[in-house]
Chains A and B, each alone.
Chain A
Amino acid sequence: MKILIAIKQAIALDEDFEIRADGRDIEEDFFLPDLNEWDEYSLEEAMLIKERHADTPVEVVCVTIAPDSADEALRKCLAKGADRAIRVWDESMEGSDPVAIARALAAVAKKEAPDLFFAGVQSSDHAHGATGIAVAGFLGWAHSAVVARLDYTPGAKEVVLKRELEGGLSQELRLPCPAVLTIQLGINKPRYASLRGMKLAAAKPIETLAPGDIGLATNDCGESGSLARVRRMYVPEKQRAQILAGDVAAQAKALAAIIREATGS
Chain B
Amino acid sequence: MARDPKYDILFTPVQIGPKTLRNRFYQVPHCIGAGSDKPGFQAAHRSIKAEGGWAGINTEYCSIHPESDDTHRLSARIWDKGDVHNLRAMTDHIHQFGALAGVEMWYGGAHAPCMESRATPRGPSQYASEFETLTYCREMDLSDIAMVQQYYVDAALRSRDAGFDIVYVYGAHSYLPLQFLSPYYNKRTDGYGGSFKNRARFWIETLEQVRAAVGNDCAIATRFAVDTLYGPGSVEVEEDGMRFVELADPLVDLWDVDVGDIAEWGEDAGPSRFYLQGHQVPWTRYIKQVAKKPVLGVGRYTDPEKMTEIVTKGYADIIGAARPSIADPFLPKKVEEGRVDDIRVCIGCNVCISRWEIGGPPMICTQNATAGEEYRRGWHPERFPKKGSEDSVLIVGAGPSGSECARVLMERGYTVHLYDTAEKIGGHLNSVVTLPGLGEWGYHRDYRETQIGKLVKKNKQSQVALGQKPMTAEAALTYGAEKIVIATGSSWNTDGTNCLTHDPIPGADASQPDQLTPEQVFSGKKPIGKRVVILNADTYFMAPSLAEKLASEGHEVTIVSGVHLANYMHFTLEYPNMMRRLHELHVEELGDHFCSKIEKGRLEIYNIWGDGSRRTYRGPGVFPRDANKTHRWLEFDSLILVTGRHSDDSLHRELNARQSEWEANGVKAVYLIGDAEAPRLIADATFTGHRVAREIEEANAQFPKAYKREVAIWGNPHSPGVNPEIEYES
Say how far A63's CB is from chain B's closest CB, in angstroms.
20
Assess A192 versus B478: contact at CB under 8 Å? Given A72-B460, A198-B461: no
B415 in the interface, Cβ–Cβ < 8 Å? yes
Task: For A198, give its contact among B457, B468, B478, B480 (CB under 8 Å).
Answer: B480
When distances are taken between beta carbons in the complex, the residues of chain A under 8 Å from B479 are 194-196
When distances are taken between beta carbons in the complex, the residues of chain A under 8 Å from B478 are 194, 196
A193 and B392 CA atoms in complex are apart in Å by 14
Q: Is the CB of A32 within 8 A of B457?
A: yes
When distances are taken between beta carbons in the complex, the residues of chain B under 8 Å from A197 are 480
Say how far B318's CB is from chain A's closest CB, in angstroms.
31
Taking CB as reference atom, which chain B residue is nearest A75?
B460
Assess A194 versus B417: contact at CB under 8 Å? Given A189-B467, A199-B480: yes
A78 and B417 CA atoms in complex are apart in Å by 17
A192 and B460 CA atoms in complex are apart in Å by 12
Q: How large is the interface on B (under 10, 10 to 19, 20 to 34, 35 or more residues)?
A: 10 to 19
- What sequence of 0s and 1s flags, for each residue 62-99 of chain A, a beta carbon within 8 Å of any chain B beta carbon? 00000000001000100000000000000000000000
A199 and B665 CA atoms in complex are apart in Å by 13
Say how far B482's CB is from chain A's closest CB, in angstroms.
9
B226 in the interface, Cβ–Cβ < 8 Å? no
A35 and B480 CA atoms in complex are apart in Å by 22
Assess A196 versus B465: contact at CB under 8 Å? Given A32-B457, A72-B460: no
When distances are taken between beta carbons in the complex, the residues of chain A under 8 Å from B394 are 195
Say how far A121's CB is from chain B's closest CB, in angstroms.
22
A189 and B465 CA atoms in complex are apart in Å by 12
A11 and B480 CA atoms in complex are apart in Å by 29
When distances are taken between beta carbons in the complex, the residues of chain A under 8 Å from B417 are 192, 194-195
Say how far B107's CB is from chain A's closest CB, in angstroms.
52
A195 and B480 CA atoms in complex are apart in Å by 5
Interface residues in A179-208 by Cβ distance below 8 A to B read 189, 192-199
When distances are taken between beta carbons in the complex, the residues of chain B under 8 Å from A199 are 480
When distances are taken between beta carbons in the complex, the residues of chain B under 8 Å from A76 are 460
When distances are taken between beta carbons in the complex, the residues of chain B under 8 Å from A34 are 460
When distances are taken between beta carbons in the complex, the residues of chain B under 8 Å from A192 are 417, 463, 465, 468
When distances are taken between beta carbons in the complex, the residues of chain B under 8 Å from A194 are 417, 478-480
B481 in the interface, Cβ–Cβ < 8 Å? yes
- What sequence of 0s and 1s flags, for each residue 409-452 of chain B, a beta carbon within 8 Å of any chain A beta carbon? 00000010100000000000000000000000000000000000
When distances are taken between beta carbons in the complex, the residues of chain A under 8 Å from B415 are 195
- What sequence of 0s and 1s flags, for each residue 97-120 of chain B, a beta carbon within 8 Å of any chain A beta carbon? 000000000000000000000000
A189 and B394 CA atoms in complex are apart in Å by 21
Taking CB as reference atom, which chain B residue is nearest A192?
B465
Taking CB as reference atom, which chain B residue is nearest A32?
B457
Taking CB as reference atom, which chain A residue is nearest B1?
A16
Say how far B460's CB is from chain A's closest CB, in angstroms.
6
New A-B contacts (12) at CB < 8 Å, excluding given A195-B461, A196-B478: A32-B457, A72-B460, A192-B417, A192-B463, A193-B463, A194-B417, A194-B479, A195-B415, A195-B479, A196-B480, A197-B480, A198-B461
Could you pull out 22 A-B pairs where Cβ atoms are within 8 angstroms? Answer: A32-B457, A34-B460, A72-B460, A76-B460, A189-B467, A192-B417, A192-B468, A194-B417, A194-B478, A194-B479, A194-B480, A195-B394, A195-B415, A195-B461, A195-B479, A195-B480, A195-B481, A196-B478, A196-B479, A196-B480, A198-B480, A199-B480
Instruction: List the 6 closest A-B pairs by CB distance, nearest first.
Output: A196-B480, A195-B480, A192-B465, A195-B481, A195-B392, A194-B479
Chain A contact residues, CB within 8 Å of chain B: 16, 32, 34, 72, 76, 189, 192-199
